[in-house]
Amino acid sequence: MTILSTTDLTKTYGGITANAGIDFELPEGRIMALIGPNGAGKSTFVGMLSGRIEATRGTVFFDGQDVSRLPAHKRIALGIAYTFQITSVFAGLSVHENVALAARRRLGRDAKAVNAKVADVLDRVGLSSLANQIAGTLSYGHQRILEIAMGLAQDPRLFILDEPTQGLAESEIQDFITLIKSLADTITILLIEHNMDVVMATADLITVLDAGEVLARGTPDEIRDNPAVQAAYLGTDDAEG
C-alpha cells in the first residue's frame, strides 16, 4: 500500500522552478531516502509534503486522501510528523516536558495518558535516564534524538526526518542508524540525508532529485550502480541542499 504520493508536484518562485512535475510514491512500512546534490530541490519538495510550502500545482495524497490544500498542523493531525534540519527542542524545559508537550497535541490534557506515552517514547529512543535533564544541557546528538522522541509522541504513521545526522559524531550516527531501524517496524520513514553511509545502511528505497526533478528511484544497489546518479551526485562532496 502507498501511504504518500504526489502527482505533478511543482513549485516555482518568480519564474524559477524549484520542483518540476514530481511523481512520487512511498510504500507504507518502508524507509525511503531522498537524496540529491545541493540545489536539487529536496527542501522545497519536503516542504510541500509537510504543508509548510504551498505547491504551485500538483497534488499530495496521504493515505488515499488529497491533502494538497491542508496546512501543516492538519497534516500532523492526520499522522505526518516532521523534524527540521536544526533542532527545535525547548531548551529551558526538561526532556520529559518536551516530549509531554508533543504528546498533548494528540492526547490532550489526560495527564496519565501523556505520562505513559512520554515514558514509552523515552524508553524507545534510549533517553529514559535523562528524563529530568534540561534539554538545553544535552549534547547535540541527544537533542536530535529528543526531537525524534517529540515526533514519536504524536503517534505518526509517516515520519519525515530532514538531515537528522547533521552535526552528529560518528558514534552518535551509529546509534541513530540503530534507532531508525527499530522504528521502521511500526512507522513509515522518509529520510532526507546527505550521509550516504547512513542512507545505504537504513534505506529500503531511494529517490534521487536533481535540478528539481526525479533523476532516479530504486533500491540502494540500483542507485549505487546508476551511471546518471554517479555523475550527478555519488562520489562528490556536494551532497546537501
Q: How confident is the model at residue 231 (pLDDT cuts 50, 70, 90)?
A: confident
- Go through the chain and tell me how many residues it has: 241
Q: Is residue 205 part of a domain?
A: yes
Grid coordinates representing 16? 524559477
Structural domain that includes position 225: 1-69+159-167+190-241
CA distances from 128 to 58, 152, 211 (A): 43, 14, 43
In a domain, 123, yes or no: no
Return the CATH number at 213: 3.40.50.300
Q: Which residues contact 153 (CB under 8 A, 6 or more apart)?
A: 99, 100, 102, 103, 106, 117, 118, 121
Lowest-pLDDT range, 4-8, 14-18, 84-88, 130-134? Answer: 84-88
* pLDDT tens digits, one per residue of 72-95: 999 999 999 998 756 689 999 999
219 part of a folded domain: yes
In angstroms, the CA 110 to CA 145 distance is 25
- The answer to whether residue 132 is domain-embedded is no
Half-sphere exposure of residue 54, counting CA atoms within 13 Å on the CB side?
A: 5
Residue 172 covered by a domain: no
Chain segment 124-142, per-residue pLDDT in tens? 999 999 999 999 999 988 9
The model's pTM is 0.91
Longest dimension (CA), the chain: 55
Please name the amino acid found at residue 6: T
Is residue 38 a part of any domain in this protein?
yes
18 in Cβ contact with 30 (< 8 Å): no
Q: Tell me, rounded to whole angstroms, the distance of Cα 142 from its chain centroid.
A: 17
Instruction: For 29-56, give the DSSP string.
Output: T-EEEEE--TTSSHHHHHHHHHTSS--S
Q: Above 60 in pLDDT, residue 120?
A: yes
Residue 152 located in a structural domain: no
* Total domain count, the chain: 1
Characterize the bridge pairing of strands 80-83 and 158-162: parallel
DSSP character at residue 160: E
Note the pLDDT of residue 22.
98
As a whole number of angstroms, the distance between CA 156 and CA 236 comes to 34
| pLDDT value, residue 83 | 86
Q: Is 201 helix (H, G, I), strand (E, B) or coil?
A: helix
Q: Is residue 121 part of a domain?
A: no
Positive or negative, the CA dihedral 219, 225, 226, 229 is: positive
